[in-house]
């Protein structure tokens, strides 16, 4: 909510809004100072300045958030395939090196000329229910190769442009430390909501009505002020939720919502990890629950550093297993999954993404609408000068 309010209400007549007797502010910093300097409110000034400075970033973060909620709809990615045959038990699937080598060979064949060094492994993720391994290979862009875990047949291959959208959303597209940029955008949204609601409450107390557009001006301008007020109030609650959860997700490891990767000895090029079934068996034994079996395994995420993350479907509990000997390095519940579902709206139900989408779209419109309302006086002053010249 980036409501730009520079109209001061009078104490004598609550329904009357006074305009400044000074001329329209000129473009540039001097005009801006005159606009703020007469009867201004610190809350309003903070709301206006932060909203204006962060307008572009708010549009980028909000737009990429909508894209991430609908990657398949926008054609950025497509669903992972499923193997056609009856699935074999995890104890009988191919080894990690066999699956990775099949994916690397397919990626090399897809290049122009079909030659070159194979791309390095980023991760290999099993979905036991589908019998398919998503082998993610480093590159620009990153490539996912989907391999049948019992036959090594390559079922599909795609470039992961969705990772670029994710990086733009978090700020990592510029560089990893630039994740702080999305933190700042989130903080600006929170402050804008607080200051905007504060201004609205003050107006309600003085004017004794919940909603009112700015007096004067054309119908178009009054409509813009009305939308900025009503739209901001409508989306304010969930904008705060998305902003807070976004900051938490940017720092989920330092905040303890997700375990950091284990410190293991360096693995050489000849390292041969345990069979996938053995790593899963170690994770199940660690949980020591008779009701858990391979059907409760949500995913197995193998990393080239020589460990696997075995996640269970019942409570997003994750066990990190050393792929060399099957020892359990770390285990905890993945609270970041709950936070991510709240951030995207999915925690509210199968259609909860609508709440997040509508809030993001409103945030985009508020940023554009607020910037327009802020810059319009400067445009009018410039036109007046040109006509008078």
pLDDT tens-digit series, residues 22-40? 444 444 444 444 444 443 4
Domain formed by 82-122+129-160, architecture: Roll (3.10)
Q: Which residues pair with 300 in a beta bridge?
A: 126, 310
Lowest mean pLDDT among 75-79, 149-153, 175-179, 314-318: 175-179
pLDDT-based confidence at residue 63 (cuts at 50, 70, 90) = very high
CA distance 250 to 193: 21
Residue 293 has pLDDT above 80, yes or no: no
Work out the number of other CB atoms within 10 angstroms of the CB of residue 201.
10
CA distance 62 to 144: 26
DSSP-derived 3-state class of residue 156 = strand
Locate the domains of the chain by residue range.
Answer: 8-69+168-253+353-388, 82-122+129-160, 261-333
Please compute the mean of the pLDDT values over residues 240-259 and round it to a whole number. Answer: 92
pLDDT-based confidence at residue 203 (cuts at 50, 70, 90) = confident
pLDDT tens for residues 127-153?
887 889 999 999 989 999 999 998 899
* Residue 288 pLDDT: 73
CA distance 184 to 207: 34
Q: Which residues pair with 322 in a beta bridge?
A: 307
Work out the number of other CB atoms within 10 angstroms of the CB of residue 384.
13
Task: Spell out a b/e string for 206-221, using b for 16 or more CB atoms within 10 Å of the CB, else e.
Answer: ebeeeebbbeeeeeee
* Residue 33 pLDDT: 42
Beta strand 8-9 pairing with 317-322:
unpaired
* Residue 324 pLDDT: 94
Q: How far apart are the first and last CA of the chain?
A: 39
Domains 82-122+129-160 and 261-333 share a fold: yes
% the chain with pLDDT above 90: 41
In this predicted model, which residue has the larger pLDDT, 46 or 304?
304
Task: Locate all alpha helices (DSSP H) within the chain, ordered by sequence.
Answer: 29-37, 42-53, 55-69, 96-109, 162-170, 179-207, 219-250, 276-287, 335-344, 353-388
Residue 265, burial from CB neighbour count under 10 angstroms (0-12, 13-18, 19+): exposed
261-333 is a CATH 3.10.450 domain: yes
């Amino acid at each position: 909510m980036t409501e730009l309010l520079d109209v001061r209400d009078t104490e004598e007549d609550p329904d009357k809004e006074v305009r400044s007797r000074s001329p329209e502010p000129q473009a540039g910093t001097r005009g801006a100072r005159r606009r703020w300097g007469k009867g201004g409110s610190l809350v309003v000034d903070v709301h206006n300045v932060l909203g204006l400075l962060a307008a572009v970033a708010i549009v980028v973060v909000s737009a990429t958030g909508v894209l991430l909620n609908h990657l398949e709809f926008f054609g950025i990615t497509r669903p992972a395939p499923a193997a056609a045959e009856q699935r074999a038990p995890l104890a009988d699937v191919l080894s990690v090196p066999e699956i990775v080598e099949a994916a690397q060979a397919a990626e090399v064949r897809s290049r122009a000329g079909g030659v070159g060094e194979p791309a390095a492994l980023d991760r290999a993720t099993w979905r036991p229910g589908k019998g398919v391994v998503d082998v993610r290979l480093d590159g620009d862009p990153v490539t996912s190769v989907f391999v049948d875990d019992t036959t090594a047949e390559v079922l599909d291959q795609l470039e992961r442009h969705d990772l670029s959208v994710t990086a733009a959303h978090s700020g990592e597209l510029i560089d990893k430390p630039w994740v702080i940029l999305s933190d700042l955008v989130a903080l600006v949204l929170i402050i804008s909501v607080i200051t905007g609601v504060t201004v609205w409450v003050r107006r309600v107390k003085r004017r004794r009505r919940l909603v009112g557009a700015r007096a004067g001006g054309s119908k178009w301008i009054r409509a813009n002020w009305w939308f900025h007020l009503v739209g901001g109030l409508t989306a304010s609650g969930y904008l705060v939720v998305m902003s807070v959860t976004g900051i938490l997700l940017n720092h989920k490891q330092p905040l303890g919502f997700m375990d950091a990767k284990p410190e293991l000895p360096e693995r050489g090029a000849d390292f041969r990890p345990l069979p996938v079934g053995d790593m899963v068996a170690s994770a199940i034994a660690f949980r020591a629950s008779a009701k858990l079996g391979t059907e409760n395994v949500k995913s197995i995420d193998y990393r080239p550093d020589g460990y696997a993350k075995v996640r269970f479907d019942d409570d997003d509990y994750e066990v990190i297993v050393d792929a060399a000997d099957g020892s359990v390095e770390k285990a905890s519940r993945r609270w970041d999954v709950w936070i991510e579902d709240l951030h995207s709206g999915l925690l509210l139900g199968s259609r909860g993404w609508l709440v997040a989408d509508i809030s993001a779209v409103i945030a985009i419109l508020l940023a554009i609408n607020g910037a327009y309302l802020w810059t319009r006086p400067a445009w009018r002053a410039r036109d007046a000068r040109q006509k008078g010249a």
